[in-house]
Structure 1
Amino acid sequence: MKTTVVNIVTPDGPVYDSEVSMVIVKTVTGEMGILPGHIPTVAPLAVSAVRLKKDNSMDVVAVSGGFVEIRPDKVTILTPSAEVADQIDIARAKEAVKRAESRLQSKQDDIDFKRAELSLKRAMNRINVKEGNI
């Protein structure tokens, strides 16, 4: 079976580096399946789960946006933050949801609603990835 190398990189360093048979990402315009030999492409990513098929298993990584660069033999994902499903702290993610929801419900003028919405999306994405709701 053909494979392609996948690297998921954040400003803090690499998060994932492996050979997989298929990558599924969610771009801002929709989902995209990537197989070995895919044409070169660059696309912006949504806050979402990246699914990585290896033999008979599936690895899942929560990403908070960024870009995917596809080459015929390599897929690179550059993202502000990423967490492999096994390493997500569910309690911390649920606390982040509560904080973001309280900010969104606040009537204070100094609340940055866009930032609170994005924080809520990232936390919900982490929870969904950890719980397998992707």
Structure 2
Amino acid sequence: MDKNFHLEVLTPHRKFYEGDVEEIIVTITTGQIGILKGHIPMTAAIGTGTLQIKKDGQWREAFISGGFMEVKRDSVTILSSAVEWPEEIDVARAQAAKERAEEKLRQKKSRQEHLLAEAALKRALMRLRIASKYQNI
């Protein structure tokens, strides 16, 4: 019995991934969710975190942030603002974004600016975590 389903991951700038996979684990706004072939159809909002893809018994992890996912019984489509493999993460840029966000959080800004800075900090920290895990930083 074939355990694979089709996964397509798109960003505004490129087709990040397309192919058959055994399983995915993705961060959504309420936590993480695992998807196997035959999963109940659903949609979910993507959070800031990781996208883990299992293909041929091997796992690969990527940074993901924002967007949504549509799950069908034999396919998953993810439309995301940003998805990056660990080797694609610009560590210097992520570190600079982290520092900018931390500075904005130290300033007494409006609630909206505070929320935006928190989101930017979360994205930067997740990029740095994934990069350090795979890039020997």
- Equivalent-residue separation in structure 1 for 2:55 and 2:124 (angstroms): 26
Residue 124 (structure 1) shift:
1.0
Q: Could you tell me which residue of structure 1 aligns to residue 19 of structure 2?
A: 18
- Equivalent-residue separation in structure 1 for 2:109 and 2:49 (angstroms): 29
Q: Could you tell me which residue of structure 1 aligns to residue 68 of structure 2?
A: 67
Residue 47 (structure 1) shift:
0.7
- Equivalent-residue separation in structure 1 for 2:3 and 2:99 (angstroms): 43
TM-score by structure 2 length? 0.86
The answer to whether the Cα contact below 8 Å between 1:48 and 1:65 also exists between their aligned partners in 2 is no
Deviations 1:56-100 (A, max 9, x none): 321112111211111111111111111122211112111110111
Residue 108 (structure 1) shift:
5.5
Residues 29, 107 of structure 1: CA spacing in aligned structure 2 closer, same or farther, 3 A cutoff?
Answer: closer
- Equivalent-residue separation in structure 2 for 1:2 and 1:131 (angstroms): 32
| Structure 1 residue identity aligned to 2:31 | G
- Equivalent-residue separation in structure 2 for 1:129 and 1:42 (angstroms): 26
Does the residue aligned with 1:43 lie in a helix, a strand or coil? strand
- Equivalent-residue separation in structure 1 for 2:98 and 2:121 (angstroms): 5
Does the residue aligned with 1:79 lie in a helix, a strand or coil? strand
1:1-134 matched pairs, under 5 angstroms: 2-107=3-108, 112-132=113-133
| Structure 2 residue identity aligned to 1:71 | K
Aligned residues: 133
Does the residue aligned with 1:2 lie in a helix, a strand or coil? coil
Deviations 1:19-62 (A, max 9, x none): 21100012222221101121211011211101011123211121
- Equivalent-residue separation in structure 2 for 1:27 and 1:63 (angstroms): 10
Residue 3 (structure 1) shift:
1.0
| Structure 1 residue identity aligned to 2:103 | S
Superposed CA RMSD in Å reads 2.0
- Equivalent-residue separation in structure 1 for 2:95 and 2:57 (angstroms): 31
- Equivalent-residue separation in structure 1 for 2:120 and 2:6 (angstroms): 30
Q: Kindly, what percent of the aligned residue pairs are identical?
A: 37
